[in-house]
Structure 1
């Protein structure tokens, strides 16, 4: 990504895209979850990000770390079930990694995502391959790191991440769930995609769509 990939304008683009996409896909995410889960995933996400949307302008913007930690606490307080602590932890850990930065380079963005992944693993006890959102988030992060190493511009990196997230999320159809309510269904969870992984893919695809045109060259 460009050196200013984490500037406030771009961070706001990402955060507002996440909010809008979770609200717009409430029914879709719920339908995915209802196949082997309790069907409340879409509703829970929407309520959490609805609250974030309402309070977005009031959040402390002293630095990016403080801002993201506030996002994490707010999301955790409103999203129900197991999703709140998981998604909230992701934002909290990303904020801790960002620290007092007001602009982020690509390397720090990757570090933030790795911190979020580690936090989610610890909070939920999940690993890659357990059929959770990690199965899209980890490949997405790997793709960003690989794109940066290859010298791609921010648009190319974001597009690469979206493709990786979608491919990985779709591949969860062949996995057996080992975490969350879907784990109770055992082998029956094979044959359907993981709602959390698909949500990550949809979010990344929409971020990529909204990101277009941000590179000058």
Structure 2
């Protein structure tokens, strides 16, 4: 991938992978409150392979690159996270299937496609207290800022998206989980934020920090 937009994609994916590995313990502790506590372990083991095999991935196009990442995640991330995160990357790849260069609108399209894939695979939606409750508001914020009057640069856009993700993730605290292992606990899931949503927020913040440092 030679264009700036596709280099940006590679930079972002690597940051997501490194953040998932670095926050293994935090993500697992969040998940252990009402889940099975394996979120951090599952993501870390899969993204460790992504980082280890980084130089071997086919970079013929953004879509091809993302499909390779999706394959690793689907095969190496355990539990329910593997199918969901693998589907997210695969659907993101499909959103830019015919693209050789990427724009901000493509980033929004990839995130929208990822969310739709997670909805379908997880039989979940906004308000069910899942990672979608951070991912969708984050995408909405990115799209608003991208087309707003302020014309922020990439680092500022990433920061706005991260702020939205954090606020939305924390807003899952009073919700009752309707999907996944936390839903088995019923009302006991009320009072703590969703681990998947918080993971999205932490990852978004790391991406924003990385973009700021890169700038």
Shorter-chain TM range is: over 0.9
Q: Which residue of 2 aligns with 1:101?
A: 99
User: 2:6 touches 2:102 (CA, 8 Å); kept in 1?
Assistant: no
User: 2:173 touches 2:191 (CA, 8 Å); kept in 1?
Assistant: yes
Q: Which residue of 2 aligns with 1:135?
A: 133
Q: Which residue of 2 aligns with 1:39?
A: 37
Give the distance between the partners of 2:179 and 2:65, measured in 1 at CA: 30
Give the distance between the partners of 1:213 and 1:53, measured in 2 at CA: 20
Give the distance between the partners of 1:86 and 1:26, measured in 2 at CA: 18
Distance 1:213 1:80, change over 3 A: closer
User: 1:68 touches 1:92 (CA, 8 Å); kept in 2?
Assistant: yes
Deviations 1:124-155 (A, max 9, x none): 00000101000000011001100011122212
**CA RMSD after TM alignment:** 1.5
Q: Are 1:62 and 2:56 counterparts?
A: no
Q: Are 1:177 and 2:177 counterparts?
A: yes
SS of the residue 1:192 aligns to? coil
Cα offset, 1:52, TM superposition = 0.8
- Taking structure 2 as the reference length, the TM-score comes to 0.95
Give the distance between the partners of 1:183 and 1:30, measured in 2 at CA: 17
Q: Are 1:77 and 2:102 counterparts?
A: no
Q: Which residue of 1 aligns with 2:193?
A: 193
- Taking structure 1 as the reference length, the TM-score comes to 0.94
Q: How does 1:94-173 map to 2 (within 5 A)?
A: 94-150=92-148, 151-173=151-173
Cα offset, 1:165, TM superposition = 0.2
Give the distance between the partners of 1:116 and 1:201, measured in 2 at CA: 16
What stretches of structure 1 of length at least 5 have no aligned partner? none
Paired positions, count: 212
Q: Which residue of 2 aligns with 1:210?
A: 210
Give the distance between the partners of 2:111 and 2:95, measured in 1 at CA: 9
Deviations 1:81-115 (A, max 9, x none): 11000000000000011114232111111111111
Deviations 1:62-90 (A, max 9, x none): 10001101111110101111100000000
